[in-house]
Amino acid sequence: MAFPATPLDLTAELYVSGAWTDITADVFTRGGGGVSITRGRADEGTRTDPSRAGFSLRNTSGKYSPRNPTGVYYGQLGRNTPVRFSVAGASTYLALPGDTLSKAHAPDAAALGITGDIDIRIDLELLNWREAVDLAAKYQTAGDQRSWALYLHGNGDGIVGFSWSSAGSSATTIDRQSTVPIPAPASGRQALRVTLDVNNGGTSHDVTFYIAPTIAGPWTRLGDTVVGAGTTSIFDSVAGIELGDAINLTALPVKGKLYAFELRNGIDGTVVANPDFTVQTPGAGSFADTASAPNTWTIEGDAELTNRQVRFAGEVPSWPPRWDVSGTDVWVTAEAAGIQRRLGQGHPVEGSVMYRAMTLDAPSVVAYWPLEDAAGSTSLAAASSGTGPLQVVGEPELSSYTGFIASAPLLVLAGAQLTGAAPAYTPGNLTQVRWLMAVPVAGDADNQSVVTFYTTGSIRRWECHYGTGGTLGLRAFDAGGTQIFDSGDVAFAVNGLNLMVSVELTQDGADVDWLLGTLEPGASSGLTWSGTATGQTVGRVGTVVVSPNGGIADTAIGHLSVQATITSLFDLGDQMNAWIGETAGRRIVRLCAEEGITCVARGDIDATAQLGAQTPGTLLDLLAECAETDGGILYEPRELLGLAYRTRESLYNQAPAVELDYEGGHLVPPLEPTDDDQQVRNDITVTRREGSSARAVLEDGPLSTQAPPDGVGRYDEQIAINPRYDALLADHASWRLHVATVDETRYPVVSLNLAKLHADGEGALAEDIAAMDVGDLLTIDNPPAWLPPGLISQLGLGFAEFLAHFDWDVSVNCVPASPYEVAAYDVQGRYGPHSTVTAEALDTTETGIDITTPVGPLWSTTATGYQIVIGGEVMTVTAVSAPVGTAQTLTVTRSVNGVVKAHASGVAVELAEPAIYAL
């Protein structure tokens, strides 16, 4: 993004009457004014705060008074009206909102009819690289006009797929997938390339995938080349090219930004299509590319060519009018906020995991009774629309069985009978009745119907019955009570198990196919027994009765449902196991999706910590638990109303997003470092909910628990997290101790003036600063002489901006980046002795340094070229002598970091950048 000449082209918009409306003129009045924005973590903060934007609106006409009936926006300004602020950039992109049919499209042309080797490249930014999305396609099912399609795999696992057809039909379609997942960059942007060699010179064809930072390259192969048997070709279809969505593909449309696309005839061959969205006119509905035979690209659906760079997206919760005593100056002082403010008002995640599964994930639910009712209830509430409660005969023990981790406590029947009715519905060919059940180890009464339900077909009554020894069976009766069939007592061995039980009925012509199945939480396989009732019909389910004879004593029942479809035993398997083993990133994305909240994933959500069971709680608490366990950052994205998660792994070993030079005048003074104890924690205990704990203590060194001056005293902290296993707690405690005891200068706030940088000819740097996001790496070179020498490396965790006519000030809240510089196998990191000291006093120039290492291992005599630090002076090791006992000599280059000083004997000798085990 480049910045326009002053004044700053800043736009303010409100979302009213279903569209964004420009209100800039009322914000930026002749007398000045501007917008103050904060996002991410405040200085010293440990969690991100809701984003906020403070601004004033001129209200002389009363248009921003929500209850003024003469106002332009009367009836449209309410609590939490969306607002956004953006600036204009020099480059454009295609904004793709993720809506069906929002795309760029070019019609078929002769040059696009590639039948041999093909090379496809696309440059885009996705909100989440772990979703199944359509990327690009020349593919039409009508008339068998399939050529090729590029997509992310349907499992959302990051695998890239490329398919093509040799004759246009599905029968001749070949599909190849990358051998490894595509990376999930923290920036969200990368380029993807696929090549198809239809004849690799033998009897095979090759598909190769590549990635690059942008479409300009450089390209790196993604996994192995996929070799397929036989030579092949691509059908020359009449389909056009679709980017961002494809009408005949089943994956999701792209949600993000599209920058460029290239189609080449041949590998590295002739460019036959090359829309560059970054150079197009904002708002244009179509344009021509620059291929040898130009193609006309049309922007369809809600896709939009835009150069707007959103700086804040949020909601205005209130519109307080203000005026001076004369009534001449009338305004509204507004403070918009990100979605966390609203969610923080006690937004609950309703119900247990199983409750949410049945109300959110189960299809075609006709009737559903959770049976999680509290003790003292006289009827058992339904959680499906139009369904009445279960009526109770007897006295079940409500809210007494706690064995299902995915459920609130369930009732134990204790001889009670429960009766309810499904609301009327139009039956199809499929019916499913299922419930959770826990029979005690000792079993229950023999030959008892657990669940009976009545249907309107020729079979009027279905009974799932229990038998001594843990059997289950299914029997059916006609309207006169005559038994039509009985499966008998099937050895399901249900005693002592927590189970989901499913009865599945399929109207198969004139017959009914039936199945009885069970599944344990967390199991990879279930048990089933099936058969056919010949010449029978089902109809719809009416009355449902649990324990109709009241003869079941100690069995717990819950989450009873009737569905007008049949789904697999495993469709709710993860939910029944309370999502144990789900990664933190996946849980964050899923919870947001369940609540209808847009979620941006930065980094690989599959490479995050595995979690324990999900329990009821507020949405923010559950999300914070995920972030705390993984060690990443939950925050609000700049460009849209929603939430974002940056994974811990994406914080490791970053390339700088912003590179500043103190002597070059890039910073706004003062730069105020601090050596304080604000974030020091040297005694950390980590506990797992309903599990064990682990403790990590720093007992030696300047930030240790030793009393000053040998340490800083004890700073203890207890952290509750939710990892899958207790065995992981020690690693979590050690990692948190490592992060909280970094012994270096902290730079709480780095202040920058983007308008000045642009005026000074530093437009590229200003672009980098504007694009910097939460967790990105910022460096400052050439610090003043009175600060520690060397490059200053900080992570930006929070931002404050002020935007007005001629101002764009940015302050970045920082923490040291060094804890996240971790060892990477065969790439980064070196391990060395921890007890080495100088064995002699050194002057300022001596290059042969005698050392001793009382506790091994000793220094390698073959490894050289690395850096050590002695008393703050960094040196490069060029040779290491053979040991004599514990004594060695290091040959070094002195004063690598500009520090020139003498050293006493007995001073610690350490690696300048020691390898750190990542969590």
Q: What is the pLDDT of residues 457-467, one digit of tens each?
A: 999 999 999 99
Question: Each residue of 32-44: pLDDT tens digit?
Answer: 578 999 999 887 6
Q: Write down the pLDDT at residue 250.
A: 86
> Which secondary structure element, helix H or strand E, spans residue 887, and what is its range?
strand 887-893
Two tokens, residue 300: 């369809």
Cβ–Cβ < 8 Å for 871, 850: no
Question: Each residue of 97-123: pLDDT tens digit?
Answer: 998 899 999 999 999 999 999 999 999
Per-residue confidence band for 23, with pLDDT thresholds at 50, 70 and 90:
very high
Cβ–Cβ < 8 Å for 822, 917: yes
Per-residue confidence band for 5, with pLDDT thresholds at 50, 70 and 90:
very low
Per-residue confidence band for 347, with pLDDT thresholds at 50, 70 and 90:
low
Residues in the chain: 919
d(CA 658, CA 162): 36
Question: Which is higher by pLDDT, 710 or 805?
Answer: 710
Cβ–Cβ < 8 Å for 466, 518: no
d(CA 791, CA 816): 12
Question: Each residue of 564-576: pLDDT tens digit?
Answer: 999 998 899 999 9
Best CA proximity match to 674, nearest among 758, 749, 577: 749
pLDDT at 249 over 80: yes
d(CA 856, CA 236): 69
d(CA 231, CA 200): 8
Question: Which is higher by pLDDT, 366 or 790?
Answer: 366
Q: Write down the pLDDT at residue 2.
A: 43
Pairing between β-strand 776-781 and β-strand 658-661 as defined by DSSP bridges: parallel
d(CA 544, CA 556): 17
- The average pLDDT across 718-731 equals 96
Q: Write down the pLDDT at residue 842.
A: 96
pTM confidence score: 0.92
Question: Each residue of 175-187: pLDDT tens digit?
Answer: 999 999 999 999 9
- The average pLDDT across 170-195 equals 97
As a whole number, the mean pLDDT across the chain is 94
Question: Which is higher by pLDDT, 787 or 455?
Answer: 455
Q: Write down the pLDDT at residue 45.
A: 65
Q: Write down the pLDDT at residue 789.
A: 85
Per-residue confidence band for 321, with pLDDT thresholds at 50, 70 and 90:
confident
Q: Write down the pLDDT at residue 156.
A: 87
| Helix spans in 272-402 (H) | 339-343, 353-356
Per-residue confidence band for 30, with pLDDT thresholds at 50, 70 and 90:
very low
d(CA 55, CA 14): 13
% of residues, the chain, pLDDT over 90: 82
pLDDT at 4 over 60: no
Q: Write down the pLDDT at residue 162.
A: 98
d(CA 351, CA 479): 39
Q: Write down the pLDDT at residue 28.
A: 63
Two tokens, residue 307: 């150069």
**Per-residue three-class SS string for 131-143:** CCEEEEEEEECCC
pLDDT at 285 over 50: yes
pLDDT at 51 over 90: yes
Q: Write down the pLDDT at residue 505.
A: 98
Q: Write down the pLDDT at residue 827.
A: 66
d(CA 857, CA 659): 38
Q: Write down the pLDDT at residue 348.
A: 65
Per-residue confidence band for 690, with pLDDT thresholds at 50, 70 and 90:
confident
Q: Write down the pLDDT at residue 20.
A: 93
Using the structure block, give the residue that is written with the tokens 């009449």: 238
Best CA proximity match to 511, nearest among 477, 537, 529: 537
Cβ–Cβ < 8 Å for 382, 369: yes
Q: Kindly list the distances between the CA atom of residue 607 and the CA atoms of 210, 493, 883, in Å, as whole numbers in the listed order.
A: 21, 38, 43
